[in-house]
Structures are given as C-alpha cells and as structure tokens.
C-alpha cells in the first residue's frame, strides 16, 4: 500500500509546483478524472481498504441512496496532499474553491493543515500564475486569423471603509478599466480585412431618412400569459415570433477576460491609453500584427470617445494608432437602459394625473420608482406589469364578451386572436395624430395610448434580446432612434444612426455585417431565453470581481484585483465543477419567477375603473408628447443632416462639438454586486 501511495503521489505531482496549474486544466478539473481514475488504477488496495472503512455491511446491502465514493476519493486527495506539497492536483483546485467561496485566511489555513487546501499565500500565488495563463489564452484568440471581439468598461473600486486615512494613503475609491475579449460566432477571416472596410467608410453615401431609418404579436402573449383559459394556445405556431437572426441552439459564448487596468477610459487620452494597454502592454502584440478589424461593442459614451480618438489620430502612423481597427457596435443593454429612462422621463407625470407612471406606481405600491435613483430591474418589472395590465383591459374591451373567461369559453381561433390584436394595435396603442382628431380631445386616453405605444418598444427590445433574436431589434432601430430624439436623448439617437450607417453602407460586402449581427447578443450559459447584450455581460463580470475583491478585505491591493479579474472564468468553472463532483448544489436550474399576476390584474382593474382605454370627454390632463412623431420631425429637419456632416468631418480628422442631451442625465441604479459570470 505504501508503494501504491508513492506511485499515486507521483502521478498527482505532474507539475513541479502548484503555480504550474494551467487555466485549461483547471476549467476541466473534476474529482473523478483527476483523483478517482488515477487512484483506481494505481492504488486499488488503498481504495478497497478505505471503502471498507467508510461502509458497513448493512449499508452495502440495503442503502441504495448513500454513496461513499466522494468521501473516499477526497480522503485520498488529502493523503496525497499531506505526503507531498507538489501533489497539487487535488489541493490546488480545492484551495481556489474555498478562496472564491470567501473563506477567511484563518479558515483556509485550517483547511490546509488537514490536506484539503493549499495555504492562503500559496493560493494568492496560484491566482497570479493562472492570470498569466488566462492572458496567454486571450492573446491566442486575438491573434487568430478569424479575429475577435473586445468590450471594455470603467470600474470604480472602493478600497477602504474607514473614515480616517493615514497620510499619503491611496484614494478610497480607485478607477480603472476592465476588458473582456470574445471568440466570434461564425468567424469569417475575409470579413476581418481592414482595408476594404476603411475604403467603404471613405466612399459611403450619406444616411437617408426614407431608405435607411424608416422601417405584433406582443399583445397576444399577454392574453395567454395571464389568463389560464388561453394557455392551450400559447405554443400555437401562428402566435410565435418568427426567428430573426437567432443564435444557434445551445450556443455558449466564450469570453477571455484580461487584467483590470488603472487606465481610465473616460477621456480621449484615457481611451487611447486603454487601447495601448489592452493590445500592446497586456497581449504583447506588435503594430504589424494589429492590421485586421476588431469588433468592439460598448456603451454610447465609450463609442463616442472612440470616434473622437479616431478623429484626433486620423493621420497617425498605422491603423492601430489611428484607432481604425475598431469597428464600433452599440451595446444593447445600455440602449435598453436609456430607453427605459427616456420613457420614464416622458411619462412620469404626477401622481394626481390618472394613468401617469407616478399614479400607476402608487397602484402597484412601488412609489419609490417615481423618485430619484430607481433600481433598473425593479423599474423594468414594474413597467412591464403596467403594460400587461393596460393591454389586458384593452383585450376585455375588444373581445366582444363581458369577461375574458367568457371569451375563452368561446374557443377563439388563433387567427381571430391575430385579428383582434390588430384592432388593439390600431385602437389602443397607436397615438392619435392631431389632424385625425374630430372630437373633443381626451388627454388621459391619448396619454394612455402613447404610454402603451412606448412601453411596447421597451418590451420588444428586452424580449428580443432574451430570445437571442437580434433581427427583431434591428427591425425597430430606426424607430428607436426617432424615439430617443423625440425624448431629448440626442446622443443615443446619433449612436444608433452611426450603427445603422455601418450596417447598411460600410460593413456590407465581405460579410462583416453578418458577423456583427451574429455577435450582438450573447448567451453565456447556452440556456434558452437567457440572451443578453455584450455590455450586460460586462456588468455581471464587474459585479463578480467586486464581490471577490471586497471579500478579501485588507489583502485586496490593485495588483491582486487585476489578477482576480483575469481568472474569473477559471474560478466560476472550479466552483461548478467541484459542486458537481461533490454532488452539491451549485445553482438552481429550476428557479421559478415570482408570480406577480396580481399586480398586473390590479393595473387592469384600475384601468377599467378609470376608463383609461376608453374615451371620456371630461378627462383632461397635461398632454404627453408623442416621442416617435416628434423625433421623426426633428430627424427630418436637422438631425440627419447634422449626422451626415459630422460623419464626413470625422473621416477628415475634424471633431464635432459634443451634443448636449435635452433629457436629464441617466439616474437609474444598476446593481450586479451579487452577480456571477
């Protein structure tokens, strides 16, 4: 048995030190493959003896649920770890599991002494070593002929909770930039050639409103979701959204984070410094290697800085220094976030005005959402509950029956539902044009129409992203640009115009436009309905890094933070792999959303009581602007002309003045502090 343990110890000491554990090895680690299989083949007597010690005769005969294998191979891993510090195939991954589970230093030292972990300092060194391997992985992806995608965002880290600071202490809040690279879906090396893209950008025609900007089943989904009598129709083919540029089934996006940098991307010089830090400092690339297009999807503020950097460096020495390698796409999460803010700003109203958002928030008992700093997830949920409630009331009015239950008993066909949906769109979600009105205006009724209309765009964007159907988002980008302009968000309107111009005129020809469409939405888990924008994935990762950094307290310096940010993929893999090996619960797969149907019906009943979806001559209120019509007028009169002029000047190195939004600055709180990749 001693000889067996000696052989097993050598087998589990395949590297000279714990720091030689590569990221690829750790991502695939499992107790069965890395401990059980070698033990079964090299130490059968040890396994047999331990199995006897861990089981009783009665248990072996009658217990069909309890299995001692996990404990058996864990004990073998402990024994090997205690026999040799170089036998890190068990204790190394386990130490990462304890560390990212926020064990204290004292707890990890105790675990080290019983052989199920490396000591705390060795674990810190292991994280730094793995970070180097992760940077190598990212470098390989970036240098591949098929190209890659990059996304970065600013990070603000709190480094101290104490009021009093020592003299010359570092700032209590430090800022930097976090970068993640991605392997492209459906890569096309031909599409990544930079010269054709730059040539088409130079020769591209101006954006035309009629040809390039102008471009409904959501209502039926409301009916079968909230009324049990319609559930049988929920999967009918006629009532499904046709897929529009969907992700392949079960596709998982691969990400490659690199070290968080102290460079701040909130200025043009800072943006240029971020470019250099990513590709030259960290990925060790030469200018001669940086000669193909890189898809870069970020929020609007970052893309605006990227374009200004291009203008400033328009006549520099190479495409990288001129920032021409970056082909800029719009981050869909921030687009949705700012769309919600625009809708809230336009429709907030006052709680004394029937049908205003402030009034409906009171009905939902969510008055805080009408105040400063509303939470993004709570606000989005409340807006969708309001939309669904108003549409349920519209269905009640148009179905031709006293109640929806009676309508369901009539067994309506899917085609009838589609026809009624068209009626609802026309009567209840289409704002009345001033020239069409021949009667005394009903301001409350008109405001309700405009609210439903705008919320339907929010619903379509969020649901299309979740369904991984970018085509559905692309179909309404022109209308979204007009809505942003009508609400006073000039910058997001302009960002959409740049994106549409690139899709329609610059990226066509070699397939780059198709590559962009394939990679605008991610699914990190491969689970249906879990699509997200590239920038939302970044927010999740930043939240996870902050959680791990805060958990380490006084051991968290910036260098260690940078290492953490590079290894979060490995830490997440270790967490799930060990949980699976130990038959422990890693994360629930059968989570059910909270049932909020009572809130939706509360809105529907209030809409019926106040007749929000019906015309009443005595309903008067301050009229909410029709942001789509207003935006259309502004774009035709000046916005498109200004955009085309600024785009042409950008190619000449002329920087346009920054646009000032007419809408208040974004004031929605987005908290992913408890997130995980």
Look at residue 238 and tell me whether its pLDDT is greater than 60. Answer: no
The 10s digit of each residue's pLDDT in 284-317 is: 999 999 999 999 999 999 999 999 999 999 999 9
CA distance 84 to 65: 34
pLDDT at 521: 95
The 10s digit of each residue's pLDDT in 179-230 is: 999 999 999 999 999 999 999 999 999 988 888 887 644 444 544 454 555 5
pLDDT at 585: 63
Question: pLDDT-derived band of residue 64, with 50, 70 and 90 as boundaries?
Answer: low
Phi, psi of 64 (to 5 degrees): -100, -5
pLDDT at 19: 46
Give me the residues paired with residue 295 across strands: 149, 327
Q: What is the DSSP letter of 178?
A: E
12-16, 116-120, 545-549: which range is least confident on average?
Answer: 12-16
Residue with the two structure tokens 């599409």? 191
If you average pLDDT over each of 24-33, 399-408, 494-503, which comes out highest?
Answer: 494-503
Average pLDDT, the chain: 86
Where is 503: in which H helix or E strand? none
Domain positions in the chain are 2-118, 216-248+333-475
pLDDT at 553: 56
Look at residue 552 and tell me whether its pLDDT is greater than 90. Answer: no
With the CA atoms of 193, 199, 200 and 204 taken in that order, what torsion angle do they form, in degrees rounded to the nearest 10? 160
Question: pLDDT-derived band of residue 169, with 50, 70 and 90 as boundaries?
Answer: low
The 10s digit of each residue's pLDDT in 567-616 is: 999 999 998 888 888 877 655 555 567 788 899 999 999 999 999 998 87
The 10s digit of each residue's pLDDT in 269-284 is: 999 999 999 999 999 9
Look at residue 149 and tell me whether its pLDDT is greater than 50. Answer: yes
Look at residue 438 and tell me whether its pLDDT is greater than 70. Answer: no
pLDDT at 109: 93
How many Cβ atoms are within 10 Å of 51's Cβ, its own excluded?
A: 14
pLDDT at 223: 47
Radius of gyration of the chain (CA): 29
Q: Which residue has the higher pLDDT, 543 or 227?
A: 543
Beta pairing class for 294-298 and 148-158: parallel
Burial class (CB in 10 A: 0-12, 13-18, 19+), 288: exposed
Q: What is the DSSP string of 386-425?
A: HHHHHHHHHHHHHSSSSSHHHHHHT---HHHHHHHHHHHH
If you average pLDDT over each of 159-163, 172-176, 627-631, which comes out highest?
Answer: 627-631
If you average pLDDT over each of 197-211, 402-416, 480-494, which comes out highest?
Answer: 480-494
Phi, psi of 241 (to 5 degrees): -70, 125
Q: What is the DSSP string of 637-648?
A: IIIHHHHHHHHH
Question: pLDDT-derived band of residue 16, with 50, 70 and 90 as boundaries?
Answer: very low
Contacts 24+ apart (CB under 8 A), 403-407: 404/223, 404/227, 404/229, 405/227, 405/229
Look at residue 366 and tell me whether its pLDDT is greater than 80. Answer: yes
pLDDT at 547: 85
Look at residue 65 and tell me whether its pLDDT is greater than 90. Answer: no
Question: pLDDT-derived band of residue 405, with 50, 70 and 90 as boundaries?
Answer: confident
The 10s digit of each residue's pLDDT in 19-43 is: 446 788 888 888 898 889 989 999 9
pLDDT at 211: 82
What tokens were used for 435?
A: 């020239």
Look at residue 409 and tell me whether its pLDDT is greater than 80. Answer: yes
pLDDT > 90 fraction of the chain, expressed in percent and rounded? 54
pLDDT at 667: 92
What is the mean predicted confidence (pLDDT) over 422-435?
78
Q: Which residue has the higher pLDDT, 203 or 81?
A: 203
Look at residue 543 and tell me whether its pLDDT is greater than 50. Answer: yes
pLDDT at 47: 86
Q: How many angstroms separate the Cα of 49 from the Cα of each of 9, 43, 344, 584? A: 18, 10, 68, 26
pLDDT > 70 fraction of the chain, expressed in percent and rounded? 87
pLDDT at 236: 55
């Amino acid at each position: 048995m001693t000889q067996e343990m000696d052989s097993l110890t050598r087998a589990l000491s395949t590297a000279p030190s714990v720091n030689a554990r590569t990221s690829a090895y750790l991502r695939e680690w499992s107790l069965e493959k890395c401990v059980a299989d070698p033990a079964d083949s090299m130490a059968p007597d040890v396994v047999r003896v331990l199995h006897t010690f861990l089981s009783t005769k009665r248990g072996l005969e009658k217990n069909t649920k309890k299995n001692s294998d996990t404990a058996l191979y864990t004990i073998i891993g402990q024994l090997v770890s205690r026999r040799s510090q170089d036998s890190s195939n068990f204790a190394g991954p386990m130490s990462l599991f304890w560390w990212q589970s926020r064990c204290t230093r004292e707890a990890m030292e105790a675990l080290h002494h019983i052989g199920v972990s490396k000591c705390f300092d060795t674990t810190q060194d292991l994280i730094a070593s793995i970070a180097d391997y992760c940077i190598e992985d990212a470098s390989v992806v970036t240098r591949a002929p098929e190209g890659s995608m990059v996304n970065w965002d600013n990070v603000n880290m709190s480094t101290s909770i104490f009021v009093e600071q020592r003299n010359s202490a570092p700032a209590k809040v430090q800022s930097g930039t976090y970068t993640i690279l991605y392997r492209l879906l459906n890569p096309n090396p031909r599409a990544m050639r930079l010269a054709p893209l730059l040539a088409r950008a130079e020769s591209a025609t101006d954006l035309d409103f009629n040809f390039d900007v102008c471009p409904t089943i959501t209502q039926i989904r409301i009916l079968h979701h909230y009324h049990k009598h319609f559930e049988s129709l929920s999967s009918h083919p006629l009532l499904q959204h046709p897929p529009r540029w969907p992700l392949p089934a079960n596709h998982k996006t691969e990400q490659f984070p690199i070290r968080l940098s102290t460079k701040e991307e909130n200025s043009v010089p800072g943006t240029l410094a971020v470019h250099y830090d990513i590709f030259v400092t960290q990925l060790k690339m030469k200018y001669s290697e940086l000669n193909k297009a890189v898809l870069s999807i970020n929020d609007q503020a970052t893309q605006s800085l990227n374009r200004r950097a291009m203008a400033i460096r328009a006549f520099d020495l190479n495409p990288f220094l001129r920032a021409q390698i970056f082909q800029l796409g719009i981050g869909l999460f921030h687009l949705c976030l700012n769309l919600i803010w625009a809708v809230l700003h336009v429709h907030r109203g006052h709680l004394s005005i029937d049908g205003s958002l402030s009034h409906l928030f009171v009905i939902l008992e969510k008055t805080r959402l009408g105040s400063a700093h509303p939470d993004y997830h709570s606000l989005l949920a409340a807006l969708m509950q309001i939309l669904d409630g108003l549409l349920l009331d519209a269905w009640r009015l148009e179905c031709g029956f006293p109640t929806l239950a009676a309508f369901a008993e009539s067994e309506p066909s899917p085609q009838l539902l589609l026809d009624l949906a068209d009626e609802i769109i026309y009567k209840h979600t289409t704002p009345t044009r001033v020239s069409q009105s021949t009667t005394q205006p009903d301001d409350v009724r008109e405001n309700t129409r405009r609210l439903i209309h705008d919320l339907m765009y929010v619903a379509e964007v969020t649901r299309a992203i979740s369904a991984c159907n970018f085509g559905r988002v692309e179909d309404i980008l022109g209308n979204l640009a007009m809505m942003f302009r009508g609400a006073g968000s000039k910058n997001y309107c302009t960002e959409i115009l740049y994106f549409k111009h690139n899709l329609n005129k610059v990226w066509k020809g070699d397939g780059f436009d198709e590559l962009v469409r394939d990679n605008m939405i991610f699914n990190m888990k491969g689970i249906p309905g879990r699509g997200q924008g590239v920038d939302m994935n970044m927010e999740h990762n930043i939240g996870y890094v902050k959680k791990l950094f805060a958990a380490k307290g006084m051991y968290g310096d910036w260098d260690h933070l940078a290492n953490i940010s590079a290894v979060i993929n490995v830490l997440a893999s270790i967490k799930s792999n060990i949980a699976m090996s130990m038959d422990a619960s890693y994360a629930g797969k059968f989570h059910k959303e909270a049932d909020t149907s009572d809130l939706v019906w509360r809105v529907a009943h209030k809409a019926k009581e106040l007749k929000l979806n019906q015309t009443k001559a005595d309903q008067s209120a301050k009229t909410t602007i029709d942001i789509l019509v207003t935006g259309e007028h502004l774009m035709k009169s000046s916005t498109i002309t200004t955009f085309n002029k600024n785009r042409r000047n950008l190619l000449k190195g002329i920087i346009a003045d920054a646009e000032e939004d007419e809408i208040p600055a974004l004031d929605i709180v987005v908290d992913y502090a408890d997130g995980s990749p």
